[in-house]
Amino acid sequence: MSVLVYIENTDGQLKKSAFEVATYGKDIATQLNTEAIALSIGDISTDELSKLGAYGISKVYHVTNDDLKTFVNQAYASIVAAAAKQENASVVVLSNTFSGKGLAPRLATKLEAGIVSGAISLPTINGNTFEVQKTAFSNKAIATVVVDSAVKVITINPNSYTVKEVGGSAALENFTAPVQSSDFSTVVKDIVRATDKISLPEAEIVVSAGRGMKGPENWSMIEELAEVLGAATACSKPVSDAGWRPHSEHVGQTGIVVSPNLYIAIGISGAIQHLAGVSSSKTIVVINKDPEAPFFKVADYGIVGDAFTIVPKLIEALKAHKGN
Amino acid sequence: MKILVCISNVPDTTSKITFTNNNSEFNTAGVQYIINPYDEIALARAIELTDAGTSGTVTVITVGDASTEATIRKALAIGANDAVRVDALPSDAWFVANQIADYAKKNNFDLILTGRESIDYNGAQVGAMVAELLGLPSVSIAKGLAIEGNQARLEREIEGGKEVVSATLPLVVGTAEGVAEPKIPNMRGIMAARTKPLSVVEPIAVQPLTKINNYSTPPARGNVKLVDENSINELVNLLHSEAKVI
């Protein structure tokens, strides 16, 4: 028996989510009195993969060949399923990222495993029965899911599990990929990634703005604030619907759900649909000229006033803070 | 082209979410149900791809009891040609995916669309499960979908950007914002929907693999601390020393 964790990388770098799944997998393995093994697919250096040892991973399997440099969910699912079988894994842990969502349900189907996606805490384990808490109703609720299938697949929400270094080192081994040509029926033609921008779902700080900004031409101060904080930028639904900002920045019930350490909402009133997407943020700051804006009810800190005067002052204050 | 659109019957986005029976069940009292917003995007794109159902057909399928029929009729009013309801409660994604895969297997669709996820249980599981059960390719979070002949060109959302993906039909796609604008039914559509075929089929026997035991609501926050707009430094200090987030 073992716990298998699937490790994602971006351009050969381990993402924060990789350390989150490693820690989560290790913590389950400890409860089950077994070991946590990792599997990585694609181009990544052995030095980078060795870092997982410090998070309690005892062995890292690495699969790479030219066909697997880009994400192909059928092929990746075949490989993770084969590794799970070889290692007799009773639990497979993935991150609930965009790729994780394409991969985990296929994997669960191959393994006939019960799957919990969007877990936010460690399972309560009672024999073969796991109870896992996950977000539901787009962050308006938490559901406790019971799984008692022989194999279980759990995907954890980014930023919801604290990474822990426990010391240790991992053995690295190549894993031979049992893939067939039929596993490659989707082909990645191109990848467009803004490398200078911070990925919104994984960001620790998010600066988000709404209709109060009056128009897309006023976003430079939002971007500057984000840059000073090392934050990702986001927006409300009306803003992306109006085409002021791309859909990929829309945070809320029908957009991206985020749980950063700090969420700064500027000129967003706080409709229930928007709050659903941000309510699991650890700290929320609201800047709005309307003291009655519903967002203040769920905020930790607030400033009532005009964003066009407050944001530049905030940028200066943060620059001074960083300078100290 | 034959398209199957899988729709979920979900509480309206403005619903207050509460629970009954010792927090073991969702409280449906006073809740308005809608087509899952992401599924509406899938439906809108399916209608576009078939020139409003003239150069192909759009079938909608849902797994649910008779109470979901208002939502199904709305999908027909928006422009689907016909509808199927699998007469069972959607107990988990595995159960639902098996029902849809079973129906799809018997009816040979070129394209199967789902929303990227439902806004109630947020599983994002059914589409990729259906694909795996049918041995078809799938793209789980598509921001763009174009079809030419039997080739699909998709934009897939990735962290911090997008991937351009090509695939051969038949294919399963989970649609997100950007694929199409949801359509609003017009009066003619609403009238026509009353007589469009809605067939009810019996479920196949499948054991669910997961079950929800109980629900809770996220802990409420304390009162907001207001900072005067002329003392911005105080906010910076609070974020640094009290919240410890910068």
Cβ B180 vs Cβ B48: under 8 Å: yes
Contacts of A10 in chain B (CB under 8 A): 159-160
Which chain B residues are closer than 8 Å to A189 by Cβ?
A: 153, 163-166
Domain ranges, ordered by start, for chain B: 2-213
Rg of chain A on CA atoms, in Å: 21
- Most B-contacting residue of A140, A155, A204 (CB-CB within 10 A), to test interface: A140
CB neighbours of residue A193 within 10 Å? 15
Confidence of residue B159 (pLDDT cuts 50, 70, 90): confident
CB environment A274-298: b (16+ within 10 A), e (fewer):
bbbbbbbbebbbbbbbeeebbbbeb
pLDDT above 70: residue A173: yes
The Cα of B81 is separated from the nearest Cα of chain A by a number of Å equal to 26
Which residue in A138, A142, A314 is closest to B216 by CB distance?
A: A142
Residues of A in contact with B120 (CB under 8 A): 136-138
- CB spacing of B226 vs A304 below 8 angstroms: yes
User: Which residues does A283 contact at the CB level (< 8 Å), separation at least 6?
Assistant: A261, A262, A263, A300, A301, B239, B243, B245
Strand partners, B4: B59, B112
pLDDT for res A324: 76
Q: In whole angstroms, what separates CA A73 from the centre of its chain?
A: 18
Q: Chain-wide mean pLDDT for chain A?
A: 95
Q: Do A187 and B167 touch (CB under 8 A)?
A: yes
Give the pLDDT score at B92: 97
Residue listed under structure tokens 């690495």: A62
A102 marked as binding residue: no
Residues from chain A that touch B153, judged by Cβ atoms under 8 A, are 189
CB–CB contact A187 B210 (8 Å): no
Give, in order, the Cα–Cα distances in Å from B188 to each of B68, B72, B81, B191, B193: 22, 16, 14, 5, 9
- The answer to whether the Cβ–Cβ distance between B224 and A286 falls below 8 Å is yes
- Domains assigned to chain A: 2-184 (3.40.50.620), 200-323 (3.40.50.1220)
Residue B90's pLDDT band (boundaries 50, 70, 90)?
very high
What is the SS3 assignment for B128?
Answer: helix
pLDDT at residue number B221: 84
Q: Please give the backbone phi and psi of residue B68, each rounded to the nearest 5 degrees, phi first.
A: -85, -5
CA distance B184 to chain A (A): 16
Mutate to test the interface with B, among A10, A72, A106, A198 (most CBs of B within 10 A): A106
Closest residue of chain A to B166, computed from CA coordinates: A187
pLDDT digits (tens, 9 = 90+) for A87-142: 999 999 999 999 999 999 999 999 999 999 999 999 999 999 999 999 999 888 99
A-B CB pairs within 8 A amount to 278
Q: What is the mean pLDDT of chain B?
A: 96
pLDDT score of A240 = 95
- Biggest CA pair distance of chain A: 61
Per-residue confidence (pLDDT) for residue A195, from 0 to 100: 63
**Span A238-248, pLDDT tens digits:** 999 999 999 88
| Section B7-34 average pLDDT | 95
Please indicate whether residue B209 or residue B218 has the higher confidence score (pLDDT): B209
Q: Which residue in A has a C-alpha nearest to residue B224's C-alpha?
A: A300
Topology classification of domain B2-213: Rossmann fold (3.40.50)
Q: What is the 3-state secondary structure (H, E, C) of chain A?
A: CEEEEEECEECCEECHHHHHHHHHHHHHHHHHCCCEEEEEECCCCHHHHHHHHHHCEEEEEEECCHHHCCCCHHHHHHHHHHHHHHCCEEEEEEECCHHHHHHHHHHHHHHCCEEEEEECCCCEEECCEEEEEEEECCCCEEEEEEECCCCEEEEECCCCCCCCCCCCCCEEEECCCCCCHHHHCEEEEEEEECCCCCCHHHCCEEEEECHHHCCHHHCHHHHHHHHHHCCEEEECHHHHHCCCCCHHHEECCCCECCCCCEEEEECCCCCHHHHHHHCCCCEEEEEECCCCCHHHHHCCEEEECCHHHHHHHHHHHHHHHHHC
Q: Is A18 annotated as a binding residue?
A: no
Residue of B nearest to A193 (CA): B161
Which of chain B's residues have a Cβ under 8 Å away from the Cβ of A324?
Answer: none
DSSP codes joined into one string, B40-56: HHHHHHHHHHTTTTTSS
Cβ contact B119–A253 (<8 Å): yes
**Cβ of B137 and A282 within 8 Å?**
no
The residue with tokens 């870092």 is A51
Of the partner residues A149, A202, A321, the one whose CB lies closest to the CB of residue B240:
A321
Angle between helices B37-49 and B69-78 (to 10 degrees): 40
Q: Kindly determine whether residue B215 and residue A141, on different chains, have CB atoms separated by under 8 Å.
A: yes
Q: Are B115 and B179 in contact (CB under 8 A)?
A: no
Q: What is the largest CA-CA distance in chain B?
A: 68
| pLDDT mean over A80-92 | 97
* Statement: residue A194 has pLDDT above 80: no
B93: β partners: none
Contacts B165 to A, Cβ<8 Å: 186-189
Over residues A164-179, mean pLDDT: 93
Give the one of A101, A137, A304 whose C-beta lies nearest to B120's C-beta. A137
A270 is in an annotated binding site: yes
Closest-CA residue in chain B for A250? B177
In one letter, which amino acid is B118?
A: S
Q: What band does B227 get if pLDDT is binned at 50, 70 and 90?
A: very high
**Percentage, residues of chain B above pLDDT 90:** 93
For A182-193, write each residue's pLDDT tens digit: 999 899 999 988
E strand or H helix that includes residue B133 = helix B126-134
